[in-house]
Amino acid sequence: MGASQQEQGPLRVALLGCGVVGSEVARLLTQQSADLASRVGAPLELVGIAVRDASAPRPLAESVDRSLLTEDAEGLVARADIVIEVMGGIEPARALLLRAIEAGAAVVTANKALLAEDGPTLYKAADTAGVDIYFEAAVAGAIPIVRPVRESLAGDSVRRILGIVNGTTNYVLDQMASTGMSFDDAVRQAQDLGYAEADPTADVEGFDAAAKAAILASLAFHTRVSLEDVAREGITRITADDVAWAAQTGHVIKLLAIAESVTDDDGSHGVSVRVHPALVPLAHPLAGVRGAFNAVFVEADAAGELMFYGRGAGGAPTASAVLGDVVSAARHRVLGGKGPEESTYAALPILPASTAVTRYQVRLAVDDRPGVLAQVAQVLASKGVSIEAVRQPSEAAAPGAEDTHGADDGATGVAHLVITTHAAAEAALAATVDAIAVLEPVREITSVLRVEGA
Amino acid sequence: MGASQQEQGPLRVALLGCGVVGSEVARLLTQQSADLASRVGAPLELVGIAVRDASAPRPLAESVDRSLLTEDAEGLVARADIVIEVMGGIEPARALLLRAIEAGAAVVTANKALLAEDGPTLYKAADTAGVDIYFEAAVAGAIPIVRPVRESLAGDSVRRILGIVNGTTNYVLDQMASTGMSFDDAVRQAQDLGYAEADPTADVEGFDAAAKAAILASLAFHTRVSLEDVAREGITRITADDVAWAAQTGHVIKLLAIAESVTDDDGSHGVSVRVHPALVPLAHPLAGVRGAFNAVFVEADAAGELMFYGRGAGGAPTASAVLGDVVSAARHRVLGGKGPEESTYAALPILPASTAVTRYQVRLAVDDRPGVLAQVAQVLASKGVSIEAVRQPSEAAAPGAEDTHGADDGATGVAHLVITTHAAAEAALAATVDAIAVLEPVREITSVLRVEGA
């Protein structure tokens, strides 16, 4: 262990927050202290745990000395070499982290909301102070994705990231797919199991995923992306029918966080970052990500396709990621050096999500009579949107339905069309959908979903 | 970029080897030089490419100056800040790397054979000289696995690693599974496609996977594991029948590199490292790893289950991993510090593979008459091996076969039994199989395969 074998005093670790994640961090820090000391080259001493109410009952592992609990977060920060922030929210987390950084402490945070809103302030402060800031736990919980993107892929060019980075929505969509239940029922089940909050908005509306998308996009493309740069659409409009039709066409619906390098019509290069539900082909590695698991699929020029899979939330998994960062920061205290700084040299423009070119699946309810498919196809052609496939599923095909039987028997039942397009720009697709919607035999545009990962 | 924004002279990079990987490394170093300089904080200057015969024709990207080719590897090493070794083999790679380290250069190597045979010599030399040694590309090509295990999981305890770390054998087994072809035909196809060498021994006999298993086990368990510590069995005995029976019982056969923390009967704690074909349940994330892809599945105490998936070989993917390491080493040259050193504090004993407790699937050909299953079950019970399931597949079940019809009609056709056990020690299973083999109605033990990942 070289330099690390020299006698080295303990490194003082402060923990801000003692909820689901914090209590696990405290447990691991104390239960694994011998291993951690060997790996770091110095003991890690937990010197305090800042909480709002030190007298409140809380489940702490026996290995954790309860006298470490304190309500004086500022005082605690002032006497630490490494500050771990797992309290969440913007303030006082931001102020405490800035104070820690200014005092020369390394900081480790799991706070995706803070990083997506105001990461650059923290990165700049850490840069100025010459200290480490690590945040592996802020994206996809236990899954090592921040470090691989920042370091392992530092010699490559990332083209695109497709991530299932919100376990709640993946659980909900997976339950809908495997049982046929409704969105509302699946959310209630997720709440009963503790996978969803009483107010599930942050998850189901895609805010949580958007924060992670902003962080990942910044790292992957060496540019600044903040929460408001992310186009966002949640899963609240996904119906049991959507899920069933997806299965029938060989797909599964996932809420994806997408960050990709794009070139718009004017030839200018930029980044598109968006969160929305999408159809993922069953053969794609992301399609097999079940339950509350997360996975991040990365396409890079040289590396090709990579995927990182694991638990995206929960006390112990998130604590694992936090502790990995703590060891990195601590090793730097012992051996010298520091981790990579924020890299924003590329300074790429954020292009609107409408720049992104994807495949679409459009479902229509139409009058069940001949000629409708031809009319719809004509609209697509006139808008320059190329059709990959049109399905007129047999369950819905009433006798005499177009292109199935071909005879005009005057039936006016309802038929369903499922159109999958080749890659098209969002604007072209939107114009196409508008034009189809006003065709006389079209009763309803039932759904329009992007197809990703093909 | 803080310190990195100061004017910094170029870092001199030497490349040893210019084959499939080396030529891609040279291409990426030169084509991406502006990006790399921004990410590192200093330009990376490729100062030479050592090859055996500089006049031999070789496909080099246009961006690479052919005058960089040199046959004087030693001279090249002497004038480099960072030495990349992608020549393979033990010598002269080892001597050149040691010379580079002694001269104070950081080294990056993709040489799994060298690391598995004599890694500690290199690690110790790097430690003494205070320089970085990185080797992400030595395990699973482009997949970031070395860095996550060394750093991201440094605050956790790894329990087990199951890896598909050889693309050739995964391609062969996948072809057998998807087309029903024989092992020999699948190997020939892999050779035709360039996935397998003319002499496929290193792959199909598991030597390549064993080297990677040794490296991963060393990192995950903070102990020294070398190639000869790895119990190894290749896939040459896997038949089309084995693959078909696996599918029928809900499995797929994969060549797995397994490293696990085990406690033997005497209560002593150690590590078991082995490479062998195994049945993997179809629902396991590793089962979906197709073609020549690699994946490493990690089970850790706090993180739970993680999987890392991607291309395990090939010029560009391997070069991506090499370049990531080069950037890390170069950042340390610019910003100070160094990467983690070899961590062997745990000094765990290597327990024999026979200590490992796994489930097994045993296939038998038996006389098709009543009482045979009972006899076999009796042997398992007497050896303390618990049965999870016995299948007597219908295709093989001749009329009158035991437990299907129950009548003794004196038939002496052949029936097949597929027995899946609960977890059992290898020694107990071996004794059981020996005892079953000598039962009078048992014609043949068709196969004995471990079941992993349940």
Q: What is the pLDDT of residues B144-178, one digit of tens each?
A: 999 999 999 999 999 999 999 999 999 999 999 99
Q: Please list the residues that pair with B44 across neighbouring strands.
A: B11
For residue B309, give the chain A residue with the closest CA.
A307
Q: With contact defined as beta carbons under 8 Å apart, do A260 and A163 qualify?
A: no
The answer on whether B23 is annotated among ligand-binding residues is yes
ipTM for the complex? 0.91
CA distance A175 to A198: 18
For tokens 């995927």, what's the residue?
A307
CA distance B249 to A108: 47
What is the residue type of A121? T
CB-CB neighbors (< 8 A) of A331 in chain B: 340
Contact: B147, A148; criterion CB under 8 Å:
yes
Tokens standing for residue B111: 């040489």
Buried b (16+ CB within 10 A) or exposed e, A197-235: eeebebbbbbbbbbbbbbbbbbbbbbbbbbbebbbbbbb
CA distance A425 to A75: 54
In the DSSP assignment, the letter for residue B68 is G
pLDDT at B400: 33
pLDDT at A280: 97
User: Mapping DSSP to helix (H, G, I), strand (E, B) and coil, where does residue B11 land?
Assistant: strand
Q: With contact defined as beta carbons under 8 Å apart, do B321 and B141 qualify?
A: yes
Q: With contact defined as beta carbons under 8 Å apart, do B83 and B99 qualify?
A: no
- Measuring CA to CA, how many Å separate B323 from each of A21, B26, B109, B134? 35, 10, 10, 10
Q: How many CA within 13 A on the CB side of residue A440?
A: 5
Q: With contact defined as beta carbons under 8 Å apart, do B219 and B348 qualify?
A: no
Q: Walk along chain A (454 residues) and give the pLDDT tens digit of each residue.
A: 444 445 679 999 999 999 999 999 999 999 999 999 999 999 999 999 999 999 988 888 888 999 999 999 999 999 999 999 999 999 999 999 999 999 999 999 999 999 999 999 999 999 999 999 999 999 999 999 999 999 999 999 999 999 999 999 999 999 999 999 999 999 999 999 989 999 999 999 999 999 999 999 999 999 999 999 999 999 999 999 999 999 999 999 999 999 999 887 788 889 999 999 999 999 999 999 999 999 999 999 999 999 999 999 999 999 999 999 999 999 999 988 888 888 888 889 998 877 788 999 999 999 988 888 899 999 999 999 999 988 887 654 333 334 444 444 455 789 999 999 999 988 899 999 999 999 999 999 999 999 998 7
For residue B316, give the chain A residue with the closest CA.
A302
How sure is the predictor about B394, in pLDDT bands with cuts at 50, 70 and 90?
low
Mutate which of B307, B326, B343 to disrupt the A interface (most A C-beta within 10 Å)? B307
Tokens standing for residue B389: 């399931």
Q: With contact defined as beta carbons under 8 Å apart, do B298 and B286 qualify?
A: no
For residue A307, give the chain B residue with the closest CA.
B309
Stated length of chain A? 454
The answer on whether B22 is annotated among ligand-binding residues is yes
Which positions 192-251 of B are in contact with A (Cβ < 8 Å)? 222
CB atoms closer than 10 angstroms to residue B34? 10
Vertex B269 angle, CA B265 and B272, to 5°: 90
CA distance A145 to A216: 8
Single out the catalytic residue among A124, A212, A338, A383. A212
Q: With contact defined as beta carbons under 8 Å apart, do A79 and A15 qualify?
A: no
Vertex B398 angle, CA B393 and B402, to 5°: 75
Vertex A275 angle, CA A305 and A246, to 5°: 75
Q: Is A97 on the interface with B (CB under 8 A)?
A: no
Q: If we measure between CA atoms, which residue out of A214, A12, A36 comes closest to residue A100?
A: A12
Q: Is A20 on the interface with B (CB under 8 A)?
A: no
- Measuring CA to CA, how many Å separate A163 from each of A210, A371, B288? 11, 41, 18
In the DSSP assignment, the letter for residue A286 is G
* E strands, A234-314, in order: 251-263, 269-281, 293-300, 304-311
Q: With contact defined as beta carbons under 8 Å apart, do A51 and A69 qualify?
A: yes
Closest partner residue to B335 (CB to CB) among A4, A157, A337 is A337
Q: What is the pLDDT of residues B103-138, one digit of tens each?
A: 999 999 999 999 998 999 999 999 999 999 999 999
Which positions 137-176 of B are in contact with A (Cβ < 8 Å)? 142-144, 147-148, 151-157
User: Mapping DSSP to helix (H, G, I), strand (E, B) and coil, where does residue A170 land?
Assistant: helix
Please give the mean pLDDT across all residues of chain B.
Answer: 91
In the DSSP assignment, the letter for residue B152 is I
Single out the catalytic residue among B124, B212, B254, B338. B212
pLDDT at A1: 40
- Measuring CA to CA, how many Å separate B215 from each of A153, B147, B383? 21, 12, 36
Q: What is the pLDDT of residues B247-256, one digit of tens each?
A: 999 999 999 9
CA distance B216 to B146: 7
Please compute the mean of the pLDDT values over residues B432-442 and round it to a whole number: 95
CB-CB neighbors (< 8 A) of A285 in chain B: 288, 309
- Distance from A239 to chain B by nearest Cα, in Å? 26
Which positions 329-368 of A are in contact with B (Cβ < 8 Å)? 331-332, 335-338, 340-341, 343, 345-346
pLDDT at A427: 86
| Threshold 0.90, pTM exceeds | yes
Q: With contact defined as beta carbons under 8 Å apart, do A349 and A431 qualify?
A: no
Taken in order B314, B315, B320, B326, is the CA torsion positive or negative?
A: positive
CA distance B158 to A41: 19
Tokens standing for residue A355: 């720049």
- Measuring CA to CA, how many Å separate A155 from each of A221, B49, B317? 12, 19, 11
Tokens standing for residue B159: 């329990």
Q: With contact defined as beta carbons under 8 Å apart, do A317 and A311 qualify?
A: yes
pLDDT at B268: 83
CA distance B411 to B348: 55
Tokens standing for residue B368: 């098709």
Domains and CATH numbers, chain B: 3-141+316-335 (3.40.50.720), 146-312 (3.30.360.10), 356-451 (3.30.70.260)
Contact: B127, A1; criterion CB under 8 Å:
yes
CB-CB neighbors (< 8 A) of A13 in chain B: none
Catalytic residue flag (residue A338): no
Q: What is the pLDDT of residues B253-283, one digit of tens each?
A: 999 999 999 887 788 889 999 999 999 999 9
Q: With contact defined as beta carbons under 8 Å apart, do A165 and A217 qualify?
A: no
Q: Distance of alpha carbon A279 from its chain centroid, rounded?
A: 16
Please compute the mean of the pLDDT values over residues B336-358 and round it to a whole number: 87
CA distance A98 to A105: 10
pLDDT at B7: 63
Q: What is the pLDDT of residues B232-242, one digit of tens each?
A: 999 999 999 99
Within 8 A by CB and 6+ apart from B162, the residues are: B256, B257, B258, B286, B296, B297, B299, B452, B453
Q: Please list the residues that pair with B133 across neighbouring strands.
A: B107
CA distance A245 to A449: 11
Tokens standing for residue A216: 């990942």
pLDDT at A67: 94
CA distance B211 to B228: 9
Q: Is B39 on the interface with A (CB under 8 A)?
A: yes
Tokens standing for residue B382: 């007497």
Tokens standing for residue A271: 């980044």
Number of H helices and E strands in chain B, helices first, is: 14, 17
In the DSSP assignment, the letter for residue B231 is E
What is the residue type of B448? V
Q: With contact defined as beta carbons under 8 Å apart, do B384 and B447 qualify?
A: no
Tokens standing for residue A106: 């390394």
CA distance B225 to B120: 10
Q: Please list the residues that pair with A278 across neighbouring strands.
A: A254, A450
- Measuring CA to CA, how many Å separate A117 from each of A7, A90, A93, A126, A230? 41, 8, 12, 16, 12
User: Mapping DSSP to helix (H, G, I), strand (E, B) and coil, where does residue A228 land?
Assistant: helix
pLDDT at A2: 42
